[in-house]
Amino acid sequence: MYRDPVQLLEPLPSRSAAPHALRVGMIGIGTVGSGTFRVLARNQAEIAGRAGRPIEVVMVAARNLARAAAVVGGNVPLTDDPLRVATHPDVDVVVEVAGGTGPARDWVLAAIAHGKHVVTANKALLAVHGAEIFAAARQHGVAVAYEGAVAVSVPIVKALREGLTANRIEWVAGIINGTTNFILSKMRDEGLDFGAALVQAQALGYAEADPAFDVQGIDAAHKLTLLAANAFGTPVRFDDVQVEGITALQRVDVACAEQLGYRIKLLGVARRRKDGVELRVQPALVPASHLMAHVNGSMNGIMVKGDAAGVTMYYGAGAGSEQTASAVIADLVDVARLAGTSAAQRVPHLGFHAHAMNTLPVVSRADVCSSHYLRVPVHAASGIEAVAGWAAGRQLPVRQVALAAGQAGTAPQVLVLTQPVRQAAMDLALGALQALPAVAGAITALRVEELA
């Protein structure tokens, strides 16, 4: 796909910008890259005024050079070799917006090794290879900035690293994948099943042809990895995130949640506990009156609870070319302001300086304590008595047992809401419930998050 790196790099053509312009080399000129180029060109005066000097794209690497030329015009040199951009002496900062975790790792590490700052919107790259990349950046005294990797237009990384720096963060929770939020909104608003809502998301460009990363919760887990690291001062730990997607979610559960006064959202949750931290992505019920329940469509919403600030909320677009470009350029402005500063004076990559980072244990799934929603199909409405008896016999802290409304033509459904209970105890109790003669099919269990 790309050529081998050249050994001798010719100087780039002289530019019309001021001599101290920040010279940007871009790897990728697709959705995010083209948006970044457009916004830089359109708002160049405002951006230079904030950065203290011009920011200029001086080189672009792309797979399709003809398509790239249509975006950047004839004055920006193009190449099909990303390593040429990553290593060119006339490039000050490399913007990596091509995506992926294999070649992108090599390009970013090459740029760092050549003393270049890096700006990226590639959450998968940092979730998987972040420890290596951030260590290399510290060694070479360069910055790696990634606001666009987490929640697109929402400046949540800056909020955690700077705005909330006085706080001991207790938890971070949010809707951090616009595709799944769009699907869940359609399932609620239009009564669609998962498959039909996914087709709409794909038709409108919210979901890829292969939507697995989104609907299986992996994309949200990548982002949660970075949020948790910035919130708690821990290394990036993608492999430790407990991940559950929305592919098995049924529209009947969306309707039943509404009956109980809740809405279902795919949440990323990072919570500090005395014995470690919880790192989990899962569909969960949120009170319908809660602000998070009103984050709809492809929008993102993130809440942070700090011991001093209390609960704060951040809301904005979860996808989009220029929306992501807004975050990428904000990172470029931060990089432009670094001139003359030592690495020790800069905001650390993950909010905490390396010597202050700690590896908190990750709480196992069995030890996560939360409220639960259960939907139990029964042979007859009288089965509600068997379910209530099961709860009493297991001494589960149940706060509501009810029959689902409006399910004509299907087996009656008993709905259960519990008080907080350990997952291990819940799993044992569910095994006993599933075995009851009154139960007519598979039980659905979801967590309930009050976010208070």
The residue type of 306 is G
Burial level of 178, CB count in 10 A (0-12/13-18/19+)?
buried
DSSP label at 450? -
Burial level of 193, CB count in 10 A (0-12/13-18/19+)?
middle
CB atoms within 10 A of CB 196: 15
The residue type of 133 is I
Three-state DSSP at 349 gives: coil
- Cα Rg of the chain (Å, integer): 25
Any residues with CB less than 8 A from the CB of 220 and at least 6 apart, and which?
A: 176, 177, 180, 243, 266, 268, 281
Tally the C-alpha atoms within 13 A of residue 437's C-alpha that lie toward its C-beta: 1
The residue type of 64 is N
CA-CA distance, 33 to 229, in Å (whole number)? 26
Tally the C-alpha atoms within 13 A of residue 235's C-alpha that lie toward its C-beta: 15
Handedness of CA 139, 60, 80, 27 (dihedral sign): positive
Three-state DSSP at 204 gives: coil
Q: Which helix (H) or strand (E) holds 316?
A: strand 310-317
Three-state DSSP at 308 gives: coil
Question: Is 223 labeled as catalytic in the residue annotation?
Answer: yes
Are the beta carbons of 180 and 266 closer than 8 angstroms?
A: yes
DSSP label at 283? E
Give me the catalytic one of 123, 223, 265, 305: 223
How would you classify residue 304: left for phi > 0, otherwise alpha for psi between -120 and 50, otherwise beta? beta
- Tell which residue, 278, 319, 318, 325, has the closest CA to residue 302: 318
Catalytic positions, please?
223
